[in-house]
Amino acid sequence: MDSPLTGLSAALAAAEAAWGPRQDAMELPEPDLIAVNDALGLLRRRLDAVHAAVASQIARASSVDLGADALAKKQGHRSPTALIAATSGTSTADAARLLRIGDATAPRAVFGDTMPARRPAVAEALKTGEIGAQAADAIIALLDKVGRRATRAGVDAAERTLVDQAAGLSLDQLRKILLRAEAQLDPQGVASREAELRDARSLRVYQRDGLVHLNGVFDSETASPIVTAIEALVSADFRSGDDPRPANRAADGFVSGIPDESQPRPEGETAPRTLPQRQADALALLARHYLACAHTEQPVAGATVIVRITLQELLTETGAATIDGIDQPVTASTARRMAAGGGVIAAVFEAHSELLDWGREKRFATRAQRLALVERDGGCAMCGAPPGITRAHHIRWWTRDAGPTDLANLVLLCEACHHRIHDNGLGRSDRWSRCGRRGVVPAARPRRSGPNASPRRTSAIRLCSLTRTAPR
């Protein structure tokens, strides 16, 4: 059996090979810069695994039952958490995380026998470097939370699925998956959590230093129309452009709405508005429209709150629903109430759906196709941006490749990622792989480059496979 340090040595050797004879990171060409970054990421994740195992043993040797002979106390620290934080130069929160991970992933001693780790799939992924400490801790925390109400088989299957999905995702992307996983594993908990979040909603308006401050927190139901309307206005704002310089134009004629930075700015012109400034302006525009318009039911044409739920969940009011642009799931009863309130589309899905392929008769995706794309991709397939700021992109280009406006040839991309596709030569269909978010329709996404390339992961299209029960 190899030493746990063997994996560290291999990752370090990969970083050294990519670095080569250079004396400074500034000397690294882009391919080597990426290779070094990948190797350092693997090194960090594998180091987390070794440190968690060591932390677990320190905790056992520092048991309160040992009294003055506890390891931490013999080293002059009141607890193993304090010892690890002091010797590692980290916070007590980071040290506590290592102890939690070690407790869940280290083999257990039960009545003199060695038993497997409490979370074996997390332990294996951590050891190989597929996931890091923060991802492991988040998965463990979720499984421990729902373990009191979910079945053992369901929790074990969820552990394998979540570990498989977590590799290659940022922590923010993983958190979105975990919220939906919790709703699937513990649907009754969604209702209580929803009530807590609804009670916590608030909006404070006050003035200070010549500015009016709005400080608000909202539950999913309250926030969904706010987020949808603001995103729609900001997206339209970016497409129209308020910068005096010409906008970038892609090879197929698509205008990104992003000013061409290579063009000089006219003298005296100020910098373009930032995203927070545009969001503030969008909120003000909505308020002005409401005050001035006699018909305020739908102030933003084309901007619709979409609640997604299965037919069975809608009929039985069990399970959970999701709202486009909102991470926290809601109960089926809330979804029904929102749909009845107007201004909301309830997207109900079952095995049979409307015919969505339109060939080359139309260039632009139909409303039904866009709904299916949002359900499949969940947002931008490259960066995970919300659906409200995305467009349907032809994988085989409409003009250059005579690509059809069929669902299999479409993918959701935000303005920036659509522009990157055309600028960086990612428009070839062989650079995309397919993986459906719900397993109903295929999704397309660009692959990483390189001989050992794997599909680039986003949280958006990998959220709904927790029904899988077979082992990996």
Give the pLDDT confidence score for residue 53 in this predicted structure. 92
Of the pLDDT bands very low, low, confident and very high (cuts 50, 70, 90), residue 262 is: low
Question: What is the model's pLDDT at position 264?
Answer: 54
Confidence of residue 333 (pLDDT cuts 50, 70, 90): confident
Question: Over the stretch 421-437, which tens digit does the pLDDT of each residue have?
Answer: 765 655 555 455 444 44
Q: What residues does each domain of the chain span?
A: 4-183, 223-261+273-352, 353-472
Cβ partners under 8 Å of residue 68, min gap 6: 74
Could you tell me how far CA 204 lies from the centroid of its own chain? Answer: 29
Contact between 283 and 443 under an 8 Å Cβ cutoff? The reply is no
pLDDT of residue 254: 34
> Over pLDDT 90: what percentage of the chain?
32
The overall pTM is greater than 0.85: no
The answer for residues whose C-beta is within 8 angstroms of residue 381's C-beta and 6 or more apart is 411, 412, 413, 417, 443, 444, 445, 446, 458, 460, 461
The pLDDT value recorded for residue 31 is: 92
pLDDT of residue 469 exceeding 50, the answer is: no
pLDDT digits (tens, 9 = 90+) for 84-93: 999 999 999 9
- Say what the pLDDT of residue 380 is: 84
Q: Write out pLDDT tens, residues 200-256.
A: 999 999 888 888 899 999 999 899 989 988 988 888 888 776 554 444 433 333 333
Give the model confidence (pLDDT) of 386-400 as tens digits: 777 788 888 877 656
**Residue 163 clears pLDDT 50, i.e. is over it:** yes
Q: Where are the alpha helices (DSSP H) in 21-119?
A: 30-61, 71-74, 80-88, 92-105
